[in-house]
Amino acid sequence: MFSGFKPKSELFYALFTSASQYLEFGAKTLTELTSPLADTASIAERMVEFEHECDRITHELFRTVNSTFVTPFDRSDIYMLGSTLDDVMDHMEAASHLVSLYGVRELPHQLCEVIDTLDACARITAEAMPNLSSMQGLEKYWIKINELENKADHLYRTCLASLFDGHLDALTVMKLKDIADELEDAADAFEKVAHVIETIVLKES
């Protein structure tokens, strides 16, 4: 009932938008791993830089929350949204780092499709985030993210079935499963971001 008195703090929305843009940069960089000729070390280094930028944004967001008397919506939701955006980048960076450390030259086609799905999630999230300030036009966003996460989940399970069918040595299976787990966790984190935004919109409507 007091939503009309809440400040429209542009800084909060700018930080959320900035974080989502770095996720878009990171996911697009991650798609380079789908090429057998990819420079995995360079990709991992760039992903670390994006991860550091997301950390910086998250810390600035939390400092802003702690120094602001009245926030545009629940503090707990601000913390949750900031944390889950950061989680997405953490998992994508970890996946790229594992590909480089393990010396993986070619990913299973299912994981390449998961990476493409993450790229779509990042693009849609970055497009939707500026609408958070108005709370308008976001329902299509979280519905689409849910669909993409379901697709990533199916690809992940299909990949695991292929990894464990006996055609690969145990060490290779372990390496690829570690990478698959991080990519799946990134997809889950994108869906969690969408769930948090849905919760915020429903609370504020």
| 2 domain-assigned | no
Average pLDDT of the chain is 94
* pTM for this prediction: 0.93
pLDDT tens digits for range 134-151 = 999 999 999 999 999 999
| 124 domain-assigned | yes
pLDDT at 1: 34
Domain count for the chain, please give it: 1
| 152 domain-assigned | yes
Which CATH number is 187's domain given?
A: 1.20.58.220
| 1 domain-assigned | no
pLDDT tens digits for range 90-140 = 999 999 999 999 999 999 999 999 999 999 999 999 999 999 999 999 999
Q: Which is nearest to 111 in space by CA: 53, 158, 73?
A: 158
> What is the span of the domain harbouring residue 174?
10-204
Distances (CA, A) of 170 to 35, 95, 176: 24, 19, 10
| 40 domain-assigned | yes
Q: Which amino acid is at 190?
A: F
| 3 domain-assigned | no
Distances (CA, A) of 98 to 33, 184, 196: 11, 14, 29
